[in-house]
Structure 1
Amino acid sequence: MIRTHPPATMSPPFPPLSTLLLFSLLLTSPVSAWKKEEFRDCNQTPFCKRARTRAPHSIPSLSVSSLSLSDGAVSARLLPSQLLQSPTDSTPASPRALTLRLSVYTPGALRLEIDEDYSDPDAPSHRRFRVPDVLLPDVDDRHKLYLPRISSASPGVTSFYLPYGFEAVVQHEPFQIEVRRASNKEPILSFNSHGLFDFEQLRTNKSDGEDWEERFRSHTDTRPRGPQSISFDVSFHGADFVYGIPEHASTSLSLRPTRGPDVDFSEPYRLFNLDVFEYLHDSPFGLYGSIPFMLSHGTKSSSGFFWLNAAEMQIDVLAPGWDDPANPSPNRIDTLWMAEAGVVDAFFFVGPETKDVVGQYLSLTGTPAMPQHFAVGYHQCRWNYRDEEDVDSVDAGFDSHDIPYDVLWLDIEHTDGKRYFTWDKTLFPDPVGMQKRLAAKGRHMVTIVDPHVKRDDSFFLHKEATEKGYYVKDASGRDFDGWCWPGSSSYPDMLNPEIREWWSEKFLFENYKGSTPSLYIWNDMNEPSVFNGPEVTMPRDAVHYGDVEHREVHNAYGYYFHMASSIGVVKRGEGKDRPFVLSRAFFAGTQRYGAIWTGDNSADWDHLRASVPMILTLGLTGMTFSGADVGGFFGNPEPELLVRWYQLGAFYPFFRGHAHLDTKRREPWLFGEKNTALIREAVHVRYSLLPYFYTLFREASTSGLPIMRPLWLEFPQDKETFNNGEAFMVGPALLVQGIYQAGEKSVSVYLPGTESWYYLRNGVTYAGGRSHKMEVFEDGIPTFQKAGTIIPRKDRFRRSSTQMVNDPYTLGRTNLSKKKFSSECLIERVILLGLSANAKKAVIEPGNHEVDIELGPLSLRAGSSPVALTIRKPNVHVADDWTISIL
């Protein structure tokens, strides 16, 4: 976050005066909007500019040779058919062969690996970086379970049958790969069908007159190994839309074309983790995290593509007719993938359903971690709660205004001079007592731990990291020294497993003094953010463990930091405690370690609207536990916006209110009695639905299906849903439509499918497969339950979710099938929608006892009219087998 706080005392050595002035301005000037000039565009990024200027089939082609089946995979060499460039190009004059490997890693997932041939005597000794620790540990053994076999061979083409009815067709010259259905030969995905594959090989010597350095503003990137970019085209066949590759802010759920006829965006989608404050709400520009995974969807099938590469990536979605405006290809979406470094380590997912594609991706990178129950409740955060008295006052305010919450957060000001794992002894003299007061009400605390370590010889963390040589190095081999909140700072090299282990030990109670079992962690600024670095991040020529340049690992730095922190919380509890660690930066696989949020948004209606497609996209790419700052981080929301944000945020998987230091205080009771009541009702909605949400989190932890889902994920044949980013499903049963404009009086809600839907405001039935104009009310946003579904609720409101554990349940239907689990909770009521009002009695088995059916309210909120049939106190346990028959 770029924030406006006076800098702490700086430790020597001091940077140049110009840097001091810049840093001072960053921290003391009023925060302004995103500054385009501070970040590179494609034309200022040589690898992107080069790749984007190439026409289809303009690159001299490669040919496949020495193709064979061995060790459960297809192996081959890629040979240049001619010199790959003219003498003035920046690539080598004598290109070497590349190695190719194709293997099947799980049903429906095909892996493609292309790298340098290190057996070549002219190959450099340095190997290109392959990202470790992202794929699950057993992945490398799986391909031996799914062996391809040659299904046909003809001159120049070899087809391999893959398990479960698919084929990979390798064209030898010019090289390309097509994945298709074996039964009807319909293509699903293709690689290099437009001949845009380019692989800049590593070198040790420059050509005469060649300059490997790159410059941006006042920064110079030395690029000691020269250009090493990779680019290629991927085509999704049978696709109407493509989705994914977070993180960017957009009001469109689908990825808009970035090149071609009638294209609005001129920039590709950028994946490069950056600290971007007050970001644009509708832009392909990259933000805090990167997941290079794209999904396609059409009425016939879905597919996906994942490139395991942590270097900067730029991706074009090409509009129909981009290559030939006169002959646009129907039902195919072409994309161009460009990365600064790395290798080709890519996966094709064949679906055929989108839920299959999500499952195939997560079978490699891992399903989301199952959170603790309290983490699914409401979180209250601000930069910063001033002291222990302020914490106690805010906590008491929730009680006095009958608003439940579970977690109170502390930002950077709680520390001793921005030294993490410490407390300001004046403002927080008794952190243990403070946490125990919250814990007595079933509540928890979260404190922030960022990756920048204050360079202060008296600080135990810095002293130990320096002595052990645990910091990232600069290009000259010294500990990298950048500027962040503490001033002069260094950054632990989290690529090193030994350093991650060391970091995890810092969370033990004996090391993190003042922490208790009810304290959890927030990782911010872990892109990493470096205030005086190029584009507010670490220089690309910094050096990590194993002689890996930062350019090669940049997008995964925050992932490794999050991993180490999460492991630390587990270790603190001796493996008995599921962690809660929130991270701002993320990469593929982050879902295994905790939650993320969408970063420093703004208090305006556009950012409220953009939050929905952002969170839906994150869910599709594995990050099911995500949310946006309710109310907006920057600025002061008008009361109506704040209320609408709470009403929408109550359905986010991660539900947290957060605000910048310079904003007005915005605890829920500070906006007048009427608005307090509206916010209270929104939070109560969340707490009543906690059993449903927690069930969905359990499903996500096993299947990977997101909690908050695009409509088309549940209704894949309904074209009206394919680009709807304003409404969404919560699990399979609830449809939610946000309100995104001030003073809205009505809204059109599209209800998909052929089922009926029940409006949860009044129980009225609406038909599916059409749009309905709905009157908008101030006390909630339109929410519908799909016919034939069951939603468990808890309708007794306590101070926190912890205090609700043994409360009884309310169910929406009787045909609930459930596994046995241990619980003494009773079913308090069953609410029935869609039954005749003539039903008067119900018979409950076992026991054969009758109970009356009453006309009762749909919910317990004030003013709810009696529109539903209600069975009160059936007196059955939630863990038992029982039936209710309606007479």
Structure 2
Amino acid sequence: MAFLLARLGTAVLLLAIMAQTTSGVQRENFKKCENSSFCRRCRKVEPGKTPYELLPDTLSHKESTLHIELYNKVTGVYYRLELTALKNDLFRLYINEKSPLHPRYEVEYALKDHPQTTVLQLVEKTSTHITVKNGKNKAILHVNPFKVDFYVGNQLVISTNDRGFMRFEHLRTKPPAKPDQPQQVEENAENAEKPAEPAADQPDAPQFPGDGAEDDPGAWEENYKSHHDEKPLGPEAVAMDFSFPGAEQAYGIPEHADSFALKSTKQTDPYRLYNLDVFEYEINEKMSLYGAIPVLYAHGKETTSGIYWNNAAETWVDITSSADNDFVKSLVNMVSGTVKKPQVDAHIMSESGVIDVFILLGPTPMDVFKQFASLTGTANLPPIFSLGYHQSRWNYNDEEDVNQVATNFDKYDIPMDVMWLDIEYTDGKRYFTWDKLKFPHPLEMVKNLTEKGRKLVVIIDPHIKRASDYFLHNDATDNGYYVKSRDGKDYEGWCWPGSSSYLDFFDPKVREYYSGLYDISKFEGTTNDVHIWNDMNEPSVFNGPEITMPKDLVHYGNWEHRDVHNIYGLVYTMSTYEALFKRSGGALRPFVLTRAFFAGSQRFAAVWTGDNMAEWEHLRISYPMCLSLAISGISFCGADVGGFFKNPDAELLTRWYQAGAWLPFFRQHAHIDTKRREPWTYNDDLLNNARDTLRLRYSYLPYWYTLFREHEVNGTPVIRPIWAHYPTEISAFTIDDQILVGDAILVRSIYQPAVSEVSVYFPGEGKVAWYDIETYKMYLGKQIDSVSVTIHRIPVFQREGTIVPRKMRIRRSTVAMRNDPYTLVVIADGEGRAQGNLYIDDESSFEYRHGKYLYLRIKLDGKKLTSTFLENLATYDTKSSLERVDIVNPPKDIKKAVLHSKAMGNVDLETKYNPHNNVLTVRKPTVKMGEEWIIDLIA
């Protein structure tokens, strides 16, 4: 029997792997709304018939929070509502049962800290409404029917429950089956296991009139394909609708391989937020992918606002807008002269939890991004090596292969900072071990990399091989560290190692144990220069429902997996980050890459867009996917260069290098069955273009590094949509093949073969000019221009009025460039002004948090260029100096320049003017970047 079970298990694993490598996404593995009972129930709620009303006599108000009871007139259930004023122009709306039968899960870990409150002013209370204010903003709570309107000043920007879609399914005891009626079981159950009997000791609860939940198959138990989901607490969905008057477009709720501007779901399934392992995902789809961030933004010409739905359960989101009106209605409005104000509507539905929603009132795009960052945090400043180029594949064969690839980057004069190892480096898929035949001397391999200033990243996944000779499995079994099934046994699923179990990272003891595994004394063969990649952490379970964990598993605290599914990856990467932090004694900044994520994941890890394909359309979708992540808190995003599956031709790989160089995370990665695709494995043209692209990326690292520091401090995304800085330009609202890097650089990707020119939208309402970063050709803002292109590069432009720091001495790695001098690219505006910032520190440690850094403001004002400290108390003894200044649109007839510095005194500098591109070059100032200085331009 044991032999047969082993053979059966192997067959299951092989079938799972075959399914993962079959061409095209296996749609039948994943639910639609119609397959999800709670989604069906919530979507069937009729508009305008809300049963909820406030009870004004229960109102109490203390400092920052208003408390009041909410009543369901149909069921007779009472709820408690809290409205809290938060700093940074935020409100928090919280609704829970007044006396729930059991505790309902409230999300942990996503918020950085407890949100800071401020004074909530009670302005008015009547029998019909209650008005409160948070500074200049206000909220009006309507009694019956219940809804809440939020205003910026006197402008209504968000309404909750305006359409009456709120649903809060109270906890209840399971009703006995009627004698003539079988137990309710969800359809599609032909292969389902037998449902479990209800627990005999389930406590009694008051029975309320029905809310219709019991009428839906799947309310108490649900089947999908061969999997049975026991629901001991029964129906417990929560839902709310949100309207955004004046909004033209909605954005956010990643992760989906879809357009940046969200599409209407009026005739389709809703967008789904449920972390899933979707191999060979298709683009232009609303299907769930690897991560879920339930933040939604609505943008119009007048205002930008948003909501953060703090819920970690499976969630569906319907999006509609005034643009959904049919042709007849539009024609009638046009004939009658009626101009309908634009509006976006959203309907958010979650399987369990409470209603806990943060109202982000903007009013500008950058305001609303900062407001969300104030809640969930920002990325810690990454070590600069992680902003360089990463070389990976599944898998580099052995130590010699790793060494040879790294050597070839030097041979072909291509910069590279990180080599990566996928799962084959381990001893039989046992993490924290090495394959002793292929990697017998890992420390020597790491040393060979670090001697050239490079790092190594190795993969660690959450599935733990169930093998009696594996220390980690034995420890987890002996100490009860695994996620449990409903009967209290260790859950067993299938993944790359075969039979696997999964650590329960919600248990503090598990996290403490796991952190210790990364200690250099335990994870032999590693050093502080070895960093970590967390993959398959949705979590992926090959034989599980929808390729993930069953929802009725039990975690620490007696919470079901259905309550916490979307934050499993967050808690896992949080544990990894803390482990690497402890490994260096808190001295060095860790680098972690994750596939699964939730709100707040940016505090611990970078993200990539998963298992994409070597196709032009997948190159095209990488920008909108990373834009969605960036405005949702995760700036450190990239897509596998060349595509994970299939084999790119030379042109596609060239264009992918060029596009990937302008995303924050820049890694080439490929499936084990693909051909080798290191730059020298193609032809000389690709090799030369790849070299030029990577060298261009490295030259801009000072700018990238400064943007990441500014993101850490104030929450501004590193890459941005055009409308973030040009919010009134309607033409830009749906553009997602262009990105802004900071506010100074505009990039347009090329995602079609054999093109000689592309259309580029230049924002700025005719008042802003953009300059090609190589030719300095000018393009005027707020117009679409045709730009000629060659295979050698994609269109990239710098905005007038900006100063961008660069390093032009490109070496093998960032470590080799640390003390190199800077070049400033200055593009003066029509008034002869420009400015930019530069951040400098040791690029690897946390010493910057103790004031060991420089933050400089560099300004051109007519004929005077200055560098001053933005933060005078910060100091850092940099060895870097200023090597060169290029000024586009310089003052006329400049004959010389004079440097003024405390250390060097007054020094005459050499200048050279190029009339062909209107650039004045100031050569070799050689002033240290760690001091303030002035350069006078003299005619």
1:311–1:341 CA contact under 8 A, matched in 2: yes
Task: For residue 16 of structure 1, report the CA deviation from its aligned partner.
Answer: 8.8
Q: 1:157 aligns with which of 121, 125, 129?
A: 129
Aligned equivalents of 2:54, 2:131: Cα separation in 1: 16
Report Cα offsets for 1:243-267 as digits up to 9, x if no partner. 10000011x22111111xxx5xx11
Q: 2:149 aligns with which of 144, 158, 178?
A: 178
Q: 2:106 aligns with which of 130, 143, 147?
A: 130
Report Cα offsets for 1:581-632 as digits up to 9, x if no partner. 1110000100111211110011111011100011011010100111110111
Q: 2:293 aligns with which of 291, 294, 317?
A: 291
Task: For residue 717 of structure 1, report the CA deviation from its aligned partner.
Answer: 2.3
Aligned equivalents of 1:55, 1:14: Cα separation in 2: 53
Partner amino acid, structure 1, of 2:245? H
Aligned equivalents of 1:699, 1:190: Cα separation in 2: 33
Question: What residue is the counterpart of 1:542 in the other structure?
Answer: 553
Please tell me whether residue 713 in structure 1 is matched to residue 764 in structure 2.
Answer: no
Task: For residue 117 of structure 1, report the CA deviation from its aligned partner.
Answer: 1.4
Task: For residue 694 of structure 1, report the CA deviation from its aligned partner.
Answer: 0.3
Please tell me whether residue 192 in structure 1 is matched to residue 161 in structure 2.
Answer: yes
Please tell me whether residue 854 in structure 1 is matched to residue 912 in structure 2.
Answer: yes
Aligned equivalents of 2:439, 2:37: Cα separation in 1: 50
Please tell me whether residue 223 in structure 1 is matched to residue 281 in structure 2.
Answer: no
Check 1:12–1:668 CA distance in 2 against 1; reply closer, same or farther (3 A cut). Answer: farther
Question: What residue is the counterpart of 1:92 in the other structure?
Answer: none
Question: What residue is the counterpart of 1:433 in the other structure?
Answer: 444
SS in 2 for 1:790: strand
Which structure 2 residues correspond to residues 468-507 of structure 1 after superposition, within 5 A?
468-507=479-518
Please tell me whether residue 310 in structure 1 is matched to residue 312 in structure 2.
Answer: yes
Aligned equivalents of 1:635, 1:381: Cα separation in 2: 15
Aligned equivalents of 1:855, 1:286: Cα separation in 2: 55
SS in 1 for 2:13: helix
Task: For residue 706 of structure 1, report the CA deviation from its aligned partner.
Answer: 1.3
1:737–1:781 CA contact under 8 A, matched in 2: yes
Number of aligned pairs? Answer: 841
Deviates more, 1:219-228 or 1:59-68: 59-68
Q: Which runs of 5+ in 2 are unaligned?
A: 185-219, 334-338, 827-864
Task: For residue 75 of structure 1, report the CA deviation from its aligned partner.
Answer: 0.6
Aligned equivalents of 1:430, 1:867: Cα separation in 2: 56
Aligned equivalents of 1:449, 1:15: Cα separation in 2: 28
Please tell me whether residue 319 in structure 1 is matched to residue 321 in structure 2.
Answer: yes
Check 1:750–1:405 CA distance in 2 against 1; reply closer, same or farther (3 A cut). Answer: same
SS in 2 for 1:21: helix
SS in 1 for 2:897: strand
Task: For residue 446 of structure 1, report the CA deviation from its aligned partner.
Answer: 0.3
Partner amino acid, structure 2, of 1:272? Y
Task: For residue 319 of structure 1, report the CA deviation from its aligned partner.
Answer: 3.1
Task: For residue 71 of structure 1, report the CA deviation from its aligned partner.
Answer: 5.7
Q: 1:39 aligns with which of 30, 36, 39?
A: 30
Task: For residue 815 of structure 1, report the CA deviation from its aligned partner.
Answer: 4.5
Q: Which runs of 5+ in 1 are unaligned?
A: 1-10, 84-94, 858-864
Task: For residue 740 of structure 1, report the CA deviation from its aligned partner.
Answer: 0.9
Task: For residue 513 of structure 1, report the CA deviation from its aligned partner.
Answer: 1.1
SS in 1 for 2:322: coil
Check 1:498–1:12 CA distance in 2 against 1; reply closer, same or farther (3 A cut). Answer: farther
Q: 2:423 aligns with which of 412, 428, 444?
A: 412
Report Cα offsets for 1:520-576 as digits up to 9, x if no partner. 000000000000000000000011011100001000000000000000000000111
Which structure 2 residues correspond to residues 312-461 of structure 1 after superposition, within 5 A?
312-320=314-322, 326=329, 330-461=341-472
Task: For residue 714 of structure 1, report the CA deviation from its aligned partner.
Answer: 1.8
1:627–1:654 CA contact under 8 A, matched in 2: yes
Q: 2:791 aligns with which of 752, 775, 778?
A: 778
1:369–1:594 CA contact under 8 A, matched in 2: no
1:249–1:283 CA contact under 8 A, matched in 2: yes
1:187–1:237 CA contact under 8 A, matched in 2: yes
2:515–2:578 CA contact under 8 A, matched in 1: yes
Aligned equivalents of 1:281, 1:815: Cα separation in 2: 48
Task: For residue 12 of structure 1, report the CA deviation from its aligned partner.
Answer: 7.0
Partner amino acid, structure 2, of 1:35? Q
Partner amino acid, structure 1, of 2:59? L
Aligned equivalents of 2:103, 2:469: Cα separation in 1: 39
1:73–1:104 CA contact under 8 A, matched in 2: yes
Please tell me whether residue 168 in structure 1 is matched to residue 176 in structure 2.
Answer: no
Report Cα offsets for 1:211-239 as digits up to 9, x if no partner. 22111111110111111111110111221
Question: What residue is the counterpart of 2:704 in the other structure?
Answer: 693
Please tell me whether residue 96 in structure 1 is matched to residue 74 in structure 2.
Answer: no
Which structure 2 residues correspond to residues 247-258 of structure 1 after superposition, within 5 A?
247-250=255-258, 252-258=259-265
SS in 1 for 2:433: coil
1:790–1:816 CA contact under 8 A, matched in 2: no
Identical aligned residues as a percent:
44
Partner amino acid, structure 2, of 1:244? G
SS in 1 for 2:936: strand
Task: For residue 358 of structure 1, report the CA deviation from its aligned partner.
Answer: 1.1
Question: What residue is the counterpart of 2:919 in the other structure?
Answer: 868
Task: For residue 188 of structure 1, report the CA deviation from its aligned partner.
Answer: 1.3
Question: What residue is the counterpart of 1:75 in the other structure?
Answer: 67
Question: What residue is the counterpart of 1:590 in the other structure?
Answer: 601
2:866–2:933 CA contact under 8 A, matched in 1: no
Please tell me whether residue 565 in structure 1 is matched to residue 576 in structure 2.
Answer: yes
Partner amino acid, structure 2, of 1:783? V
Aligned equivalents of 2:436, 2:918: Cα separation in 1: 57
1:688–1:795 CA contact under 8 A, matched in 2: yes
SS in 1 for 2:564: helix
Partner amino acid, structure 2, of 1:159? T
Please tell me whether residue 884 in structure 1 is matched to residue 935 in structure 2.
Answer: yes
Partner amino acid, structure 2, of 1:760? I
1:757–1:785 CA contact under 8 A, matched in 2: yes
Please tell me whether residue 834 in structure 1 is matched to residue 889 in structure 2.
Answer: yes
Question: What residue is the counterpart of 2:592 in the other structure?
Answer: 581
Aligned equivalents of 1:291, 1:213: Cα separation in 2: 27
SS in 2 for 1:504: helix
Aligned equivalents of 2:340, 2:48: Cα separation in 1: 17
Task: For residue 17 of structure 1, report the CA deviation from its aligned partner.
Answer: 7.0
Aligned equivalents of 1:457, 1:683: Cα separation in 2: 46
Aligned equivalents of 1:18, 1:322: Cα separation in 2: 51
Aligned equivalents of 1:156, 1:18: Cα separation in 2: 65
Report Cα offsets for 1:107-155 as digits up to 9, x if no partner. 211011111113xxxx41x21111112212342xx32xx1212112222
Check 1:855–1:15 CA distance in 2 against 1; reply closer, same or farther (3 A cut). Answer: farther
Partner amino acid, structure 2, of 1:203? R
SS in 2 for 1:678: helix
Aligned equivalents of 2:681, 2:908: Cα separation in 1: 49
Check 1:841–1:567 CA distance in 2 against 1; reply closer, same or farther (3 A cut). Answer: same
Report Cα offsets for 1:49-69 as digits up to 9, x if no partner. 122222212343333341221
Task: For residue 18 of structure 1, report the CA deviation from its aligned partner.
Answer: 6.7
Question: What residue is the counterpart of 1:762 in the other structure?
Answer: 775
Aligned equivalents of 2:62, 2:899: Cα separation in 1: 63
1:794–1:807 CA contact under 8 A, matched in 2: yes
Report Cα offsets for 1:694-733 as digits up to 9, x if no partner. 0001001111111111111122222222111011111111
Question: What residue is the counterpart of 1:4 in the other structure?
Answer: none
Aligned equivalents of 2:13, 2:487: Cα separation in 1: 23
2:113–2:375 CA contact under 8 A, matched in 1: no
Which structure 2 residues correspond to residues 546-695 of structure 1 after superposition, within 5 A?
546-695=557-706
Partner amino acid, structure 1, of 2:557? G
Q: TM-score, normalised by structure 2?
A: 0.87
Deviates more, 1:57-66 or 1:758-767: 57-66
Aligned equivalents of 2:365, 2:653: Cα separation in 1: 34
Deviates more, 1:568-577 or 1:756-765: 756-765
Task: For residue 577 of structure 1, report the CA deviation from its aligned partner.
Answer: 1.1
SS in 2 for 1:792: strand
Task: For residue 205 of structure 1, report the CA deviation from its aligned partner.
Answer: 2.3
1:843–1:849 CA contact under 8 A, matched in 2: yes
Check 1:154–1:14 CA distance in 2 against 1; reply closer, same or farther (3 A cut). Answer: farther
Aligned equivalents of 1:484, 1:663: Cα separation in 2: 21
Deviates more, 1:584-593 or 1:701-710: 701-710
Aligned equivalents of 1:296, 1:277: Cα separation in 2: 31
Question: What residue is the counterpart of 2:94 in the other structure?
Answer: 113
